[in-house]
Structures are given as structure tokens and as C-alpha cells.
Structure 1
């Protein structure tokens, strides 16, 4: 087949090529012109309707968060995550403060109160001067006759927690103050401490080298007119200074009272020579005072005691001294009893 035989096909192809080229130039010219004139925008397509203003972001602040793919992810998370830990701490602190306020209010509503009513208060023996003027003022207003159960005590529930004897010992000996000693006395009256525990701590106070601490021990002991109280003071008496001895003697002279002579009789049965010696001295002094009538109903002016010191109350000691003089295994105690018996026997025998 020769070329001239395909003239028609060739002509068609040439016309087609010309048409395609012409159309290309036709569409290319407006586009280039538009680019040159800046009519084409590469911004995001926006609606052109009436509602376009509702979705237009123009003039609005946009929050952008730039994330560095090569940075520390933990640090970025910490920076972008709200600090809930601080809020948790603040909430916990507020809750604790509210709880403390409620507890404080509850404590104020049920403030602990201890009331001690003195039962059977009796007079303190007066020898020359009032016993409080001599210094035995320690426990005058705390309790009188009898042991721990001798007072009528009323307390509100839960006013204090019980402590062991070791805890009381650590508190009183570690911080020997009047307040702590008074608390221990109340605990003993509430039967939280036995006689041995209470007077064991008191004895340590009395045997301390500090006069102020000794005075606190005397304060605790003189809250009671019992044989154990007399014994603990009498056994430490020789270790006191002049002033403390005067205070202790004034307290012991308070046993020369009708309601307290039984405690002296019990103390005379002690195996401690010092205790027996001082108990015998108090018996003789009380007897002489009753015989001479020098001690009337004055008693202790601070307590308003009804003082009773009749001569007939001393007849009981005649037999006590006789038994000690005849049967005591300690010759010193036997001698003390013999001497005391000779001083009171003739007087009471005439009654």
C-alpha cells in the first residue's frame, strides 16, 4: 500500500491533531491569565450561601496544638494533661479540715468534766498551828478518808482514756507537774491504779532529790488519810529537808482524828521501823492534845473539818502497844511500843 493511497486518513489525523492543539491553547490562555491576575485561591472552599456567615471562621481565635513527633511524649502529655494531683490534694486537705472542725465542735459539746464529792470529811488534827499553814495543803481538796472507792465520782462518758501503770509512771516522773499528779490521783480514785502501783509512783516522787518533786509526791499522798498513804510518807520522812519535814509532819498529825486512828493502828503493824516510830509519835501527840484539850473543833479551816479528838479514842492503842512490846521480833520496834505505852497507859486507864 502506497502513501498516496491513504491521503484521506492522513488528512483526518492532521485535522484532528490541529483541533486538539487549538483546544489546548484555547483553555490554557484563561488559566494562565487567571493565575497572573490572582483570581485562583488555594484556600479551603467555603459555602457561598446565605448560611455561610454561620460557619465562617474568619476573625475567630483557633486553638492549635503543635505536637513534636521527635520530642518527649511523656513531657508533652504531662504539659497538656490537667494537674489532677494538685486538685486531689486540695480536696483531701479540705476534707481533713472539715473533719477536724467537726471533731473540735463535738469535743466542745461534750467537754470532759470530773466532779468529786467529798464523803465523810473529817477534821485534821491541829497541833500548835493549822496543818495547811505548815505546808500540808497538797491534796486537801481532792479526797478524804478511805481508799480509792471512798469518793463519789461522776464523769461524762469518754472523758478520758485509761492508761497503764507504766504509762502513768512515765508521765508523772518524766513530767512532774501538779497537773499530771492531780490526774494520776483521779485515775487512782477511779480504780485505774492499784494501791501498789499508785503508792509506788508516789514513793519515787518523795524520794527524789528535788524538793519540788518531793512536794508533788506529798501532794498525791496527802489526798488520802489511809495506812498506805501514811506509810509512804513516813518511810521517806528522814530524807526530807527541814521545810518538807514540817509539811509531812503536819499531814501525819491529821491522822490524830477519831475517824483516822484506825489507819494509825494499821501502820503500827508495819515492819518498817521508821513508819512504826512516826505512827507511835502521832498517837502520843494526839493523846496529849486530847488530854489537854488544846485541839477543839477548829480542824482544817480550808476544808471545814469537824474535828473530833476525844481521849477515849486512844484506849485501842494500849493493847496494840502491848502486843508490839511483847511479840515484835524487832527489838527497836518493841522499844518504841514500850515507850509509847508508858505515855498513854496511865491516862486511858482512868477512863
Structure 2
């Protein structure tokens, strides 16, 4: 078929193409004109009223949540939802930490409170000081005459509110005998000076220390007794003298010779009235030694001038013992004590009578 034979068809196609192009240009012209004039905006629609500012999102942060449409929804929910088990563990840890802090605070408060630990020691009635050991005969108050100042404390033995809060005699005994240290013994001496312990309680503990088999414990007992120059102190040392070793006897004798002093002869006079033979024997021995020292113009032991001790040792101070030894020799029911009194009287009678 030749081109000439298809003139009609070609004409139809040309006309159709011209029509399509014309229609396209017809719709394209307004759009291009609108773009050129800026009438079309590709921004998000906003209100044009005065309230636009209230709904304006300019400058604000927008929270976005990107969801993967191809992901596992269960795993996403698990990730986004907090683990309940983890929360439980965290709460338990916080509670434990709070409880531990409270316990530490409570312990700190408890550490601030003073405490006294006492080891209980079973009592031995055989070591208790008897009435003969503690007889003063001089009417002194608690503790009699103190080595330092003549008296350990108030004579009134009534328990005040302060005394009631202090340790009892049994507690002191358990502490000193359970832990026999110099510090504990010194504390007991101070308690006795403050009238927290009676003569019987204090010297009962001292006697147990002196009759202990340990030399160091005996020395602590002698240290406690030698804090005082009283009849009870002399009696408790003298009654234990035979149980001491040679070193302890030397120390004990040096202490007892301190009674050969004008201000302490009254304690010796009281000790001579004891029913304990050892006490009377040693008291008479100290009287005779003191008398001989005074006769020779010497002194067995001088007191401390700075603390006010009466350190004079003169023959005139021994006249009182003539009567005491005479009565003991005549009326004592113990033949040994009567013999001691006679011997001592014969040694001092002639010199004292010459005064």
C-alpha cells in the first residue's frame, strides 16, 4: 500500500495530535502563571487569623516515633516497656541499703554509750575480811584515816542518787578479781574514797587480793591497802603477812613501819585490840620498833611534810601503850596475845616510866 492511498488516515492523525497539544497548552498556561505569581504554597496549611500564633509549631521540638513496619511487634513492645523484674530488684536493693544505713546509725549510737564489762568471779567466804580485821576503835568515818589527807570521804553511808547509779560491791569484786590490773584497783580505791564501798566491802576485796597465790596480784592488794594508814588497812595487811613471799614481806613491813608516826599511832592502838594473834603480834612489833627509834632520836618512817602528815616520833607519844599492854597481859583470854603484850611492855615500860 502506498502513502498516497492513506492520505485520509494521515490527516486524521495529524488533526488528533494538534488537538491534544492544544488542550495541553490550555491547562498548562494557568498553572505556570500561578507558580510565577506565587499563589501556590507547598507548606503545611496554617490559620491566617490572630490565633495563628497559638497553634504555630515554629521553633518547637517535635517528638517523633519511627515505627519499622517490617519489625517484630513483640520485641518492640518488650523494648519500650520497662522490665517489671528489674524494677523489683532495684526496689529490693534500695530497701536493703536503707536498712543497712539504719543499722550503722544504731550501732554508732550504741558505741557512744559508756559500758562497763564485769567478769563474774565466784565468792570465797574464807577470804572475806572479818570484824576483827576491820575494827577501827577510833570512831573514824568510811575508810578511817586516809594516807593522803586523813579521810576518804563523807562519813554518811546513805546511798544518794549518784551512788545508786554506781557499781555495787559485788560488781567491784568481780571486776578487780576477774581483771586484777593496776587501773582497776585504782578505780576501786577512788570508789572507796567516794564512800561507794564500806570498810567491810573494800577491805574484803583487798584481803582476797593479798591472799592470792599470784605475787603480782598480792602486790596490787598491798598497793590498795597502803593508800591508807588506818586500823582496817593495817589489820588486813598484817593478817596476810605470813602468806607473803620474802619480797612481799619486805614491802609489807616497810608499809607497816610507817605507822610508827605520831599521827598514826592511834591506828596501832586500835589494832592491838584485835582478836587476831598475827595482827596483835605485828602491831606490838611496830610499837616497839617505833619506841626504840624515838629513843635513839631516829625515825622508822617520816611522813610527807607537803601533805600534812605528822612525822614527829617522840617517846612521849608511846605512853598510851603502857596501859594497853598492861590490860592485854592481864585480861586477854588468849595466852599468846597476853605473852606478846608482856614482852612489849617489858621493852617500853622502863623508858616510858622515866618520862
Are 2:221 and 1:217 equivalent residues in the alignment?
Answer: yes
The two structures have a TM-score, normalised by structure 1, of: 0.64
Change (3 A) 1:303 1:334: same
Alignment map for 1:1-351 (pairs within 5 Å): 51=57, 54-58=62-66, 63-65=80-82, 78-79=88-89, 81=91, 83-93=93-103, 95-96=105-106, 99=109, 103=112, 143-144=147-148, 146-149=150-153, 162-295=166-299, 299=303, 307-351=311-355
Q: Show structure 1 runs of 5+ residues with no match.
A: 1-46, 68-74, 108-141, 152-157
- Decide whether aligned partners of structure 1 residues 204 and 273 sit closer, same or farther in structure 2, where only a CA change above 3 A counts: same
Q: Is the Cα contact below 8 Å between 2:263 and 2:309 reproduced in 1?
A: no
Distance 1:277-1:167 versus aligned 2 partners, 3 A rule? same
Residues 48, 302 of structure 1: CA spacing in aligned structure 2 closer, same or farther, 3 A cutoff? farther
Q: Is the 8 A contact 1:145 1:225 kept in 2?
A: no
SS across alignment from 1:83: helix
| Contact persistence 1:146–1:226 (CA under 8 A) | no
- Contact between 1:207 and 1:236, CA under 8 Å: does it hold in 2? yes
Q: TM-score, normalised by structure 2?
A: 0.63
Confirm or deny: 8 A CA contact 1:165 1:193 kept in the other structure: yes
In structure 1, the partner of 2:120 is none
| Structure of higher RCO (CA pairs closer than 8 Å, 6+ residues apart) | 1
Q: Residues 165-224 of structure 1: CA distance to partner in whole angstroms, max 9, x if unpaired?
A: 111111111111111111110010011111001000100010011111111000000000
Structure 2 contact 149–307 (Cα < 8 Å) conserved: no
- Change in Cα spacing, 1:82 to 1:170, as seen in structure 2 (3 Å) is closer
Residues in 2 aligned to 1:313 and 1:80: alpha-carbon distance in whole angstroms: 89
Over aligned residues, Cα RMSD in angstroms?
3.6
Task: Return the alpha-carbon distance in structure 2 between the equivalents of residues 279 and 76 of structure 1.
Answer: 87
Q: Unpaired segments of 5 or more residues in structure 2?
A: 1-43, 47-55, 68-75, 115-145, 156-161
Q: 1:273 to 1:82 in 2, by over 3 A?
A: closer
SS in 1 for 2:153: helix
Deviation per CA, 1:285-333, whole angstroms, max 9, x where unpaired?
A: 0001001102299545997955211110000011111110111110110
Q: Deviations over 1:328-347 (max 9, x none)?
A: 11011011001111111111
| Contact in 2 for aligned 1:297/1:308 (Cα 8 Å) | no
Q: How far off is 1:64 after superposition?
A: 1.6
Change (3 A) 1:276 1:80: closer
Change (3 A) 1:98 1:328: closer
CA pair 87-201 structure 1, distance change in 2 beyond 3 A? same
- Tell me, in whole angstroms, the C-alpha distance in 2 between the residues paired with 1:264 and 1:207: 22
Q: Is the 8 A contact 1:298 1:307 kept in 2?
A: yes
